[in-house]
Amino acid sequence: MKIDFIAGARPNFMKIAPMIKALRNDSEKKHSFRLVHTGQHYDRNMSDTFFEQLGIPTPDFNLYAGGGTQAEQTAKIMVGYESLLINDPCDLCIVVGDVTSTMACSIAAKKLNIKVAHVEAGIRSGDMSMPEEINRIITDSICDIFFTTSEVANENLKKMCVTEDRIFFVGN
pLDDT digits over 11-58, tens only?
Answer: 999 999 999 999 999 888 899 999 999 988 766 666 678 888 999 999
9 exposure class (CB count in 10 Å sphere: 0-12, 13-18, 19+): buried
54 exposure class (CB count in 10 Å sphere: 0-12, 13-18, 19+): middle
> pLDDT band for position 158 (50/70/90)?
very high
Mean per-residue pLDDT over the chain, rounded: 95
For 104-111, what is the mean pLDDT? Answer: 99
| Integer Cα distance of 85 and 4 in angstroms | 10
Phi, psi of 37 (to 5 degrees): -100, 120
Phi, psi of 101 (to 5 degrees): -60, -35
What's the whole-model pTM score? 0.95
Where are the alpha helices (H) located in the chain, listed in sequence order?
10-24, 48-54, 70-87, 100-111, 131-142, 151-159
| Structural domains of the chain, with CATH | 2-169 (3.40.50.2000)
| Region of 121 on the Ramachandran plot (φ > 0 left; ψ -120 to 50 alpha; else beta) | beta
Q: Check: CB of residue 143 under 8 Å from CB of residue 116.
A: yes
For 113-121, what is the mean pLDDT? Answer: 99
47-106: pLDDT as tens digits = 678 888 999 999 999 999 988 999 999 999 999 999 999 999 999 999 999 999 999 999
Beta carbons within 10 angstroms of residue 34's beta carbon:
15
Q: Of 127, 68, 140, 75, which is closest to residue 101 (Cα–Cα)?
A: 75
| Integer Cα distance of 152 and 155 in angstroms | 5
Starting at the edge strand that comes first in sequence, how are the strands of the sheet with 32-37 ordered? 61-62, 32-37, 2-7, 92-96, 115-119, 145-148, 167-169
Q: Of 53, 12, 55, 18, which is closest to residue 36 (Cα–Cα)?
A: 12
Instruction: Give the pLDDT confidence score for residue 45 in this predicted structure.
Output: 63
> pLDDT band for position 153 (50/70/90)?
very high
